[in-house]
Amino acid sequence: MYVRHVTPLEQLWNGWRATYVTTADERPPTPDGASIFTTILRSGLPDEETHVVHRGTHAFVIMNAFPYSVGHQLVLPYREVGDLEELDADETQELWATVTDAVRAVKAALRPQGVNVGLNLGKPAGGSVSQHLHVHVVPRWVGDANFMTATANTRTLPEALPDTAAKLRAAWPRP
């Protein structure tokens, strides 16, 4: 008879997540009800401090403070809206043109092997700040996903946000 030795499964506790999920609808985004993005824009702090990469007329780009990978940018309209159909024609045009420029900048600055572009509209779809739609632009490399995210709720990022933001600003397409 063959008896296989089984190593006990290590458990990593992530108990804070239950509270976050069950109270998501109870928390105002900020004391005045504005999204974190609007709060950052109103702060008056310099772009280098807030990690804003680009400002246009109707849309802007900011580094994701909780990135999936180095160079993870968020493209947003200035106006807080939760759904694409709430954007006016000028906002829509500039949002998507800015997404294209963000992809160009990340390709020029970081030379990824691929790029993910996407939105999560609404809390059930994964929108962490669902009141202020934002388009994710995420550079990807073969093998960039590792066991850390799956097992330790941790990501390894080899570069600081200010350094990456500076590279993206320098690579931003000029009109």
Cα 120 from Cα 118, distance rounded (Å) = 7
Cα 56 from Cα 69, distance rounded (Å) = 24
Distance of CA 138 to the CA centre of its chain: 8
Which member of 54, 58, 134, 136 is catalytic?
134
Is 136 noted as a catalytic residue in this protein?
Answer: no
C-alpha angle 131-84-59 in degrees, rounded to nearest 5:
80
Helix (H, G, I), strand (E, B) or coil at 138: strand
Count of C-beta atoms within a 10 Å radius of residue 27: 8
H helix intervals, 85-160: 89-110, 147-152
Cα 110 from Cα 10, distance rounded (Å) = 36
Cα 59 from Cα 61, distance rounded (Å) = 7
- Catalytic amino acids? 134
